[in-house]
Amino acid sequence: MSSKILKFTLNGEPVEIAVSPEDMLVDVLRDKLELTGTKKGCGKGECGACTIIMDGEAVNSCLVPAMKAMSASVETIEGIGGPGKFHPVQETFMDLGAIQCGFCTPGMIMSSKALLDKTTSPTSQEIKKALAGNICRCTGYVKIEEAVMAAAEKMREKQ
C-alpha cells in the first residue's frame, strides 16, 4: 500500500512522517520515531503499556490507527519530563516505590497524568477507574495509587 503523510503535534513539536495506512500509532511512535518509552505489550488494548495522551485523553496507542492522529496533539512519556525536570507523577512514582519491573510504568504514568490534568483532587475511586485499563504484573497497585494521590497533592501545592 502507498504511504500517507501524517501530520500531528508530538510532545509539543510538529511532526510530519510517512506512514502506511495499516500502521498503528504505537508502531509509529516506537519504530519510526524511536520513542520507546511507549511499550507494546498485548497489542489488543488490554494491558495499558502503550498508553499515551491524545487530545487530552488517555488512549491505548496499539488500538489507534496512525492516521487517526492526523492534526492531533499527542503526549508520550518522553514529553512530560525527564532527568533534571521530572513531572510530579514521575517523581512520586520513584519516591514512593511505585515502580517495580518498570514495564507498565510509562502507561501508568500517562493514565495518571491524564486524570490529574482533569482533576486536581481525585478520589481513590477516580484513580482506580483511571488506571483500570493498566495492568501491573508485579501487583504494585497500592503504591501506584499512593503515588498518584501524592502527585495530585504536589501539583496542588504548585498552583
Whole-prediction pTM value? Answer: 0.95
Per the DSSP assignment, residues forming a β-bridge with 18 are 5
**CA separation (Å) from 113 to 10, 20, 79, 105?**
16, 30, 12, 12
- Which of 52, 58, 19, 22 lies closest to 37, judged by CA? 52
- Note the pLDDT of residue 159: 79
DSSP state of 18: E
Hey, what domains does the chain have and what are their CATH numbers?
Answer: 4-79 (3.10.20.30), 88-157 (1.10.150.120)
> What does the pLDDT profile of the chain (159 residues) look like in tens digits?
689 999 999 999 999 999 999 999 999 999 999 999 999 999 999 999 999 999 999 999 999 999 999 999 999 999 998 888 999 999 999 999 999 999 999 999 999 999 999 999 999 999 999 999 999 999 779 999 999 999 999 999 987
Place of cell 487530545: 55
